[in-house]
Amino acid sequence: MKFRHVLPIALLLVSMGTIAKADDVRVSVNRTDITVQINTKENIKANIIVSKKGEDIDDNDSIYEMIQVTSDENGKIVHKFTIEEERDGVSNYGEYEVFVKPFGEAVLKGEFSFVTERDVNKLMAALRADDADFAA
């Protein structure tokens, strides 16, 4: 069975709204499974957009995940999705941004990194080939 690695990066806040706070937003990773969680003060709807870091989110080709979600009766939003190892024959290795936009509120932002076992093996092979000390 192929094993994939995902490395989390701390969440960052773009701007704070009155419904959700920076410490109420979480992005957790488990291999290729990504979970975005927001705790709000009330029952709301929000848009979640995931794209590679630095990409133009106005370009639909750069968006990896886009969904509208609704919180439960306690104001909790949980959205789970999976990143595939490749997209259109290209590795999905890289840093990703998660934009959460509760309706009527400011945008919140989270980040995470994704790397596959194959990508790590390629990097290790390149390092071994270039550095005799590393190979030893």
pLDDT of 104-131, one tens digit each? 888 888 888 887 778 778 878 887 776 6
pTM, two decimal places: 0.69
pLDDT in tens, 8-25: 322 222 222 334 444 467
Q: Model confidence over 66-88: pLDDT tens digits? A: 999 999 988 889 999 998 888 78
98's tokens: 């998660």
Residues 6+ apart with CB under 8 A from 133: none
Measured CA to CA, the distance from residue 90 to residue 40 in angstroms comes to 36
Within 13 Å of residue 34, how many CA atoms lie on the same side as its CB?
A: 26
* Residue tagged 């750069």 (tokens): 62
Radius of gyration of the chain (CA): 17
Structure tokens at 4: 């994939």
CA distances from 68 to 2, 116, 133 (A): 31, 28, 51
DSSP category for residue 126: H
Helix (H, G, I), strand (E, B) or coil at 68: strand
Q: Are 40 and 20 in contact (CB under 8 A)?
A: yes
